[in-house]
Amino acid sequence: MKIVVASGKGGTGKTTVTACLTRVLSGKLTVVDLDVEAPNLHLFLKPEITDTQTAHMTVPQVDQALCIHCRRCSEICQFKAIADLGEVLLTFPELCHGCGGCMAVCPEAALTAGRRALGQIRRGYAGEVAFIEGRLRVGEAMSPPLMRAVKATVDAYLDTATATVIFDAPPGVSCPAVNAVMDSDLVVMVTEPTPFGLYDLELAFTAFNAMGLPMAVVVNRSGRGDEGVDQFCRREGLPIVGRIPYERRIAEAYSQGQIPVDVVPGIKAVFRGVGAALKRMAGGAKRPVEVDHA
Ligand code: SF4
Ligand code: SF4
């Protein structure tokens, strides 16, 4: 079962929710930080890293002696990653999306597969929980290729039919967030009961609903703000599976790198309820019993 914890905007408590879920979900559990531009789940879980690998993507490299300057490669490239200057062919690896089209159309085999470093994939354990994270190389513009490499690592090491995997997605609804959510079994959207939280929840719902995935909502900082998020969820049939109360002690735990479930009384019960609801949803029940305001 693949559960993705996502949010329409940053700062809603997505990583806190992910960390708390690792404390309450039973069975064989793996947690994956897919927020590769700013991975910080490790600050909560403090895993022991046992393996670090550099991930690469394939980019073309040119043999100038073989090139006849037919321009087929520069014409097929949709990303302006190849330029034919007449006497020399230039490639721009940082613009390349790795589709391989240029190498496929070259009639002289002047283009061959080189590689560009995307970042690192780190694996380890936080107690009994397996931990995997991607760390984008500083200066690398595109995060989806590294995210796909991280997901491939998960698939290589795990039978996701029997194991539970929680993915901490990047915030927002652009390409990286969509890459994180696609091919998951369940999306948990973390929001807050404010006009800003509602606006970004609506964006996330619009983006992820198009994929036909089961979705649930966790409301963070519940007890403040307004009723907009509740009204939206009722209208769209989105189950609210947990409400994390607005409490100073939770913010203090966060600021000290502690997992609220470990140190704040009453929070474990909240997340036990969230975990049970998610398991029911993943098992086919689309509408778990909703929780009252905390
Ligand atoms: S692999 Fe694709 S994106 Fe990269 S240079 Fe070739 S055609 Fe362009
Ligand atoms: S397709 Fe091959 S031969 Fe033609 S310009 Fe590109 S590298 Fe040169």
Enumerate the domain spans of the chain.
2-28+163-282, 56-117
pLDDT tens digits for range 161-184 = 678 899 999 998 889 999 999 989
Ligand 2 atom closest to 102 (CA): 1
Smallest Cα–Cα separation from 170: which of 3, 1, 2, 10?
Answer: 10
For atom 4 of ligand 1, the residue with the nearest CA is 96
pLDDT tens digits for range 41-83 = 999 999 999 999 999 999 999 999 999 999 999 999 999 999 9
| CB of 100 shorter than 6 A to ligand 1 | yes
Between the alpha carbon of residue 217 and those of residues 110, 158, 231, 287, the distances in Å are 52, 27, 13, 12
- Give the full edge-to-edge strand order of the sheet including 48-62: 48-62, 111-126, 129-136, 29-33, 164-168, 2-6, 186-191, 215-222, 240-245
Q: CA 224 to CA 211: how far, in whole Å?
A: 31
What is the assigned CATH class of domain 56-117? alpha beta
CA–centroid distance, 30 to ligand 1, in Å, is 34
| 22 φ/ψ sector (left φ>0, alpha ψ -120 to 50, else beta) | alpha
Q: CA 118 to CA 144: how far, in whole Å?
A: 10
For atom 1 of ligand 2, the residue with the nearest CA is 106
Environment class of residue 87 by beta-carbon count within 10 Å: exposed (0-12), middle (13-18) or buried (19+)?
exposed
222, 193 Cβ separation under 8 angstroms: yes
User: Does 2-28+163-282 carry CATH code 3.40.50.300?
Assistant: yes
> Is residue 137 pLDDT above 90, yes or no?
yes
Q: Please give the pLDDT value at position 160.
A: 61
Q: Please give the pLDDT value at position 283.
A: 67
Question: Ligand 1: which of 58, 97, 103, 111 to mutate, judged by most atoms within 8 Å of the beta carbon?
Answer: 97
Question: Ligand 2: which of 63, 64, 84 to mutate, judged by most atoms within 8 Å of the beta carbon?
Answer: 84
What is the end-to-end Cα distance of the chain in Å, rounded? 28
Backbone angles phi, psi at 245, to 5 degrees: -65, 150
Q: CA 260 to CA 222: how far, in whole Å?
A: 15
Average pLDDT for 106-134: 96
Smallest Cα–Cα separation from 154: which of 27, 275, 33?
Answer: 33
Ligand 1 atom closest to 82 (CA): 5
